[in-house]
Amino acid sequence: MAGEDGFKKLPSELQLQLATTAHVKYIQSLDARKDDYDYWLTEHLRLNGLYWGLTSLHLLGHPQALPRAETIDFVLSCQHDSGGFGAAPGHDAHMLSTVSAVQILALVDAFDELETRGKKGGKAQVGKYIAALQNRQTGTFAGDEWGEEDTRFLYGAFNALSLLGLLDLVDVDKAVDHVVACANFDGGYGVSPGAESHAGQIMTCVATLAIAGRKDLIDADRLGRWLSERQIAGGGLNGRPEKREDVCYSWWVLSSLAMVGKTHWIDKDQLAGFILSCQDPEKGGISDRPGDMVDVWHTVFGLAGLSLLEFPGLQPVDEVYCLPKSTIERVLGK
């Protein structure tokens, strides 16, 4: 039975509260740990981490918890003359870092800063960098100049280019053909044609088709069945059959189900209970499983999963972009 807030009440043993204040303080503390060895070990994820943390804060309803001006300064300090962005100042440009940079600038409404303070060419230069990574024969994308190809990079390219209004710079039809070639008999998608279905890769493929306006190419029932089978005892979701549950799949699986209209095919209350059981209610943050160490990666995807479940206290998340719906409405007019 639904409560007054519209969310079905969890079983008594799962009556957990979202530790909003603790999560905000945890994210704010991440860049203050420069004396920690782990801080420097993760420098290659700095720009991605800023996106994860900032998105978490926006979903928690605290978009001002990180200083906007310093955020923009850091993002622009990571840009190369090519238009691409590295993970941190001095790091090589990469698709994943570039996508995070675009998402961050979208979050803080700073595309105008990219035009006036970014490398020469502004948004167009960023789009040119991304477009140059497309393999025009196969339609897929590389992560950087060294040529590794993956559907993550294809989705990232579509995500960033559509936010910039520059999707016409790439061969959309070829990219769609590549995604279709990655489909499997079980309804899922792999990292490349013939590769096994995996929840993370499924999200990248389904979201790419959504951005391209080609969800008609998805076998929604077959895919929804495979995805709903990812829920195991205890309510958590796994990424492949016979694997353990992990909070991050609360996003990868649930967002894909949302895109094909099948979120009602899983037990939402049990999943919400699992995610909440993975948070540190005192120090903040969310881990992969109950009792494990928290990190910002699992925090953002746990919160995004709860948002898709319409859990009270969270801003609505867009299932295609993993950004607040308010950001997507502002940027894309949706």
What is the count of structural domains for the chain? 1
Nearest CA among 52, 66, 137, 138 for reference residue 99: 52
Residue 35: pLDDT band by 50, 70, 90 thresholds?
Answer: low
Q: Is residue 99 part of a domain?
A: no
Rounded to whole angstroms, the Cα distance separating 39 from 210 reads: 36
Per-residue pLDDT of 199-256, as tens digits, reads 999 999 999 999 999 999 999 999 999 999 999 999 999 999 999 999 999 999 999 9
Residue at 139 is within a domain:
no
Classify residue 40: in a domain, yes or no.
Answer: no
Closest Cα partner for 255 from 203, 182, 302, 307?
A: 203
- pLDDT tens per residue across span 39-72: 555 666 789 999 999 999 999 999 999 999 999 9
Structural domain boundaries enclosing 4: 1-32+219-334
Calculate the average pLDDT of the chain. Answer: 92
20 belongs to a structural domain: yes
Is residue 166 exposed (0-12), middle (13-18) or buried (19+ Cβ within 10 Å)? middle
pLDDT surpasses 60 at 196: yes
Is 331 a domain residue? yes
Taking only the tens place, the pLDDT of each residue in 269-325 is: 999 999 999 999 999 999 999 999 999 999 999 999 999 999 999 999 999 999 999
In this structure, is residue 135 part of a structural domain?
no
pLDDT of residue 31: 77
Per-residue pLDDT averaged across 16-21, rounded? 92
SS (H, E, C) 291-331: CCCCEHHHHHHHHHHHHHCCCCCCCCECCCCCCEHHHHHHH
Residue spans of alpha helices (H) in the chain: 20-29, 37-41, 46-59, 68-77, 95-107, 111-117, 122-131, 151-164, 172-181, 199-211, 220-228, 249-259, 268-277, 296-308, 325-332
CATH code where residue 255 lies: 1.50.10.20
Taking CA atoms, 86 is separated from 64, 90, 92, 101, 295, in Å, by: 25, 7, 5, 9, 21
Measured CA distances, 173 to 162, 183, 316 (Å): 15, 16, 30
Q: Please indicate, yes or no, if residue 263 is contained in any of the structural domains.
A: yes
Is 208 domain-assigned?
A: no
